[in-house]
Amino acid sequence: MDRRNFFKIVSTASTGVMTGACGKRVERYLPLLVSDHEIAPGDEVWHPGVCGECEAGCSIIVRVMEGERVVERKGEQFRERIATIKKIEGNPLDPVSGGRLCARGQAAVEGLYHPDRLRGPMRKQGARGHGEFTPVTWEQALDEVAGKLRHADQARVLYLTRPQAGTRALTVARFLQAIGGPAPVSFELADFPLERKAARDVYGWVDVPVYDLRRATYAVGIGADFLGGWASPVFYARQFGHFRQGRPGVRGKLVQAEPRFSITAQSADQWLPLRPGAELFIALALGHLLLSEKLSRATVPEQVRQTFEAVDVTNAARLCGVTEKRLRQVARELGESDKPLVFAGASIAQTNSLAALKAAAWLNVLLGNVGKPGGVLPPSPDAAASRPVYTNALAKIEQAQFLFLDGVDPLYTLPASTGVAEKLAHIETIVSLASFINDSAAHADQLLPDHHCLESGGAVFPAVADGAAVAAPFVHPLYDTRSTEEVLTALAKKLGVEVVAVTPKSAMEKMLQAHQGWDAVVRQGGFWTEAKPASARLPAHATLETPQAVFQGDVAQYPLHFLPYRSLQFDDGRSAHLPWMQELPDPVSSAMWSLPVEIDPQTAAKLGIKTGDRVRVESPYGKLEAPAYVDPAAVPGVVSMAIGQGHRHFGRYASNRGANPISILAPAWEESTGALALGATRVRLARVATGGGLVQFAVVDREAGPWGRR
Ligand code: SF4
């Protein structure tokens, strides 16, 4: 979708009026006996919206047509004409999506029409955690929740939510303030507490930096699988496309250093397969070489310089598991490049990841690229300061009396060893605002389901572009759901306090220029401004720590490193309920409807494991069983597994399917941020059954199948 076509197709769309496909309100009922060919399909209309599948805040455009559903009226069945959503595309005006979408964005429509979506409020029936609920009216549900909230200690109200900046977060904050509760908390794998703290400590920025990859000429990626789901996947996929092919005569070179052959590593010119936890040591070695080879372009604080200078490159290369020769070559190419960039993230966090990210940030300072084209740029300001703050909320969960679960599933995204299940069991009241019964919602007392993102209005402030993506509701909600903003204002009213929901218009009016009309903003799906000139407040004095990563589990009993990672198709598990995502072949193993344990050929041969065998992965904190995939590119001694399967409750397509790698992790954290150290657990492997456990789109040895090699 390009800009010209965008204006052609959305020019007739209404601004914020909920419509049928042709702009008419749809209330018509047709008897079932009227045959299909007597029903003329409606015209298509495109409306702007905001993708809600992750926190990146991509603006989208949505194709709406007249459709129908079967409803019952007084015991008789009718076809009801409704506006149906047929297709989602990226909004070409949006600097985040640029007219493109990731697979999960495309599949958002499946969440809307999912057969297991909650159709109205429900109350727990029977024991907690069984996932059994009975329907109630909204009035009953709100009365019951307000009654419990009224008698709760407001200081022990905990609101767990996603780390997205926007109008919804502002309304949540207003609600909690009005009832005297603490601020909302983000406690998600998809937050980036390590990246934020490193950026604050080194650059003086409050959020995840933006890497201007499109204008760089040589990039070293350290630990950030930015094509596989880190931060803003569509934005960085577009950046990477431009880096490689967008400039006549210039082809950017990417060297990726990671302990997994991730999607980014697969797309790089060179992959440096690191030992887990060695990201810090490659950054230290590169810093040392930039200084010793006189390739640095700017100075760093004295103590940071001394730390880089003290690095023994031979030893660092050994710790990393790469040759010193390759390290020296990469340092030279990086230092001599026209526009060098070090692109760092903690896709699989370790206990020393903060130090690694800070060392990588100091490399960018040495390269003189901070705030410059092709370098590292400041994040877009969260103009309304609305993004909930990441906190290790385990202690808060333990003390909570009343818990709101808003778009989060801590029972799935936290290891069992943290005791999260026992902590939830002690909470007096749990209210879930999710659209589905997931593992955590199954423990709720009340379900107050939100609208789907395609039925909702709101504004999201993306972290990688100045401005906001804006959605006005354009179809009637399919079911008896209510927006969370509406639920919170209604609860506040019952508690005798007033909360006015923050609307996109009220939140953004001050940001608009005098000549910018609100209707035009809604019609184009948001407004975005040129990034302001970048500057960093580098500290005059700073130190650089050099801790080794700490791993849980005795190496003699648990000899293998275990690396769970957020998957392209499921993220942190939140998209596993969508059948398109289940059917999407896994980029590593091409597995469908399952996720395997990825094992290197040496380890597999030693244990007699073949692709498709069922294996047991055991840590000191638990065990799981899953099919094996012998990955020729896996680092020896490193076992990886994508996150996404292993839900007990998440609709018919995801429930009781596969295993959750997070479930067997140690309760290990990066101390200063409280980030879960996903890669800090050692495991052992054993084969438990032969074959039959893996469905692959393309089997690895198909070329050597019964028809022989061609
Ligand atoms: S990156 Fe994908 S899932 Fe996330 S908002 Fe954009 S389209 Fe949606």
In tens, the pLDDT along 586-633 reads 999 999 999 999 999 999 999 999 999 999 999 999 999 999 999 999
Pick the CATH number of 3-112 from 3.10.50.40, 1.10.10.60, 2.20.25.90, 3.30.1370.60: 2.20.25.90
Residue 96 pLDDT exceeds 90: yes
Angle formed at CA 681 by CA 680 and CA 684, multiple of 5 degrees: 150
Domain 122-188+383-528 part of CATH 3.40.50.740:
yes
* Other beta carbons within 10 Å of 251: 12
Alpha carbon distances (Å) from 280 to 145, 275, 346, 353 = 48, 11, 11, 7
Q: Can you give the pLDDT at residue 692?
A: 73
Atom number of ligand 1 nearest to Cα 235: 1
Task: Give me the percent of the chain exceeding a pLDDT of 70.
Answer: 92
Å from CA of 381 to ligand 1 middle: 20
The closest residue, in CA terms, to atom 4 on ligand 1 is 54
Q: Can you give the pLDDT at residue 5?
A: 67
* Residues 6 or more apart in contact with residue 173 via CB below 8 angstroms: 183, 184, 386, 388
Å from CA of 233 to ligand 1 middle: 7
Q: Can you give the pLDDT at residue 584?
A: 97
Q: Can you give the pLDDT at residue 30?
A: 53
Residues having CB closer than 6 A to ligand 1 are 51, 53-54, 56, 58, 97, 101-102, 104-105, 233-234
- What 3-state DSSP class applies to 192? coil
Confidence of residue 17 (pLDDT cuts 50, 70, 90): very low
- Indicate the top mutation candidate among 102, 575, 584 to test ligand 1's pocket, ranked by most ligand atoms within 8 A of CB: 102
Across the range 141-149, mean pLDDT stands at 98
Q: In which element (H, E) is residue 82 found?
A: strand 76-90
Confidence of residue 710 (pLDDT cuts 50, 70, 90): very low
Pick the CATH number of 210-377 from 3.10.350.10, 3.30.465.10, 3.50.50.60, 3.40.228.10: 3.40.228.10
Å from CA of 60 to ligand 1 middle: 9
Residue 68 pLDDT exceeds 80: no
Q: Which CATH architecture has domain 560-704?
A: Beta Barrel (2.40)
Å from CA of 696 to ligand 1 middle: 25
Pairing of strands 622-630, 614-619: antiparallel
Residue 16 pLDDT exceeds 60: no
The closest residue, in CA terms, to atom 6 on ligand 1 is 58
Atom number of ligand 1 nearest to Cα 50: 5
Atom number of ligand 1 nearest to Cα 60: 7
Across the range 634-651, mean pLDDT stands at 98
255, 221 contact by CB (below 8 A): yes
* Residues 6 or more apart in contact with residue 53 via CB below 8 angstroms: 104, 105, 107, 108, 111, 453, 571, 574, 575
The full DSSP string for 211-276 is E-GGG-SEEEEES--TTTTSS-HHHHHHHHHHHHHSBTTB--EEEEEESS--HHHHHSSEEEEPPT
Q: Give the span between the Cα atoms of 487 and 120, in whole angstroms.
A: 12
573, 678 contact by CB (below 8 A): no
- Indicate the top mutation candidate among 62, 97, 570, 575 to test ligand 1's pocket, ranked by most ligand atoms within 8 A of CB: 97
Å from CA of 46 to ligand 1 middle: 19
Q: Can you give the pLDDT at residue 296?
A: 97
Q: Can you give the pLDDT at residue 1?
A: 65
* Residues 6 or more apart in contact with residue 510 via CB below 8 angstroms: none
Confidence of residue 73 (pLDDT cuts 50, 70, 90): confident
Atom number of ligand 1 nearest to Cα 103: 2
Atom number of ligand 1 nearest to Cα 106: 7
Task: Give me the percent of the chain exceeding a pLDDT of 90.
Answer: 79
Q: Can you give the pLDDT at residue 704?
A: 53
Å from CA of 231 to ligand 1 middle: 10
Across the range 466-488, mean pLDDT stands at 94
Å from CA of 461 to ligand 1 middle: 14
Domain chopping of the chain, boundaries:
3-112, 122-188+383-528, 210-377, 560-704
pLDDT, averaged across the chain? 91
Alpha carbon distances (Å) from 638 to 62, 357, 368, 699 = 42, 22, 35, 22
The closest residue, in CA terms, to atom 8 on ligand 1 is 105
Q: Give the span between the Cα atoms of 496 and 364, in whole angstroms.
A: 53
Atom number of ligand 1 nearest to Cα 54: 4
Tell me the pLDDT tens digit for each residue of 362-376.
999 999 999 999 999
Residue 10 pLDDT exceeds 70: no
Q: Can you give the pLDDT at residue 196?
A: 94
Tell me the pLDDT tens digit for each residue of 233-264.
999 999 999 999 999 999 999 999 999 999 99
**Burial profile 440-479: b = 16 or more Cβ within 10 angstroms, e = fewer:** bbbbbbbbbbbbbbbbbbbbbbbbbbbbbbbbbbbbbbbe
Q: Can you give the pLDDT at residue 656?
A: 97
Å from CA of 247 to ligand 1 middle: 26
pTM, rounded to two decimals: 0.92
Å from CA of 109 to ligand 1 middle: 13
Across the range 183-211, mean pLDDT stands at 94
